[in-house]
Amino acid sequence: MRRLIGVVGVVALVAVALWWWLSRSEPRIPETAASAPVTERPAAAAVAPAPAVAVRQPSNELPRPAPRPPDVPPPPSVKQGFETQAQQRHGPVDKRGNPGPRAAAEMEMVSYAFETLDDDIDECLAEWRKTSSDAPPEVMLGFEIDKDGLQRSWVDADGGVPFGVRTCFANAVYGLDWSHIVDQPAMLTNRFNLADGGR
């Protein structure tokens, strides 16, 4: 019996020693860390959308005139003016990939439009040369047209073109009705030369 009590006592002593040793080896959390409030992680900053890339416009684009008042007659139609002309003209080169079956007639009407502009553009060039000795004797104008008419026009020039001169060009170019000339959008250029009165 004493032997059994002794064995139980030894087992109890080993158990107490093992518990004491394990309790000392557990990591302790510092009170400051344990008592610190848990903060939420800040939300990721919203990424601002990239600004839209502005489409670069030609610096010498012609200003579009103000809308025509209702009591002012409409501008002359390029198409109607062409149809009243009996003579044949050499049209500009058509660079569209698939211009359609009316390509020849369209280019003839465009050529007529350029001839119609000759005198007005010449006057603009003459006034420009009066105010500036550096004014060129000729100018290249660009046109974007579709079935609804002229969408925009610009001066193809290396240097800046005075606003007054661009306004003069604009009044001439937008003074024509370019609608119903082409079935598909087209970009055209034409050189106007003061020295020889047009192209």
Is the pLDDT assigned to residue 152 strictly greater than 90? yes
Q: Where are the domains of the chain?
A: 78-193
Residue 67: what pLDDT? 84
51 by Cβ neighbours in 10 Å (0-12 / 13-18 / 19+) ranks as: exposed
Pairing state between β 149-156 and 138-146? antiparallel
Band (pLDDT 50/70/90 cuts) for residue 147 is: very high
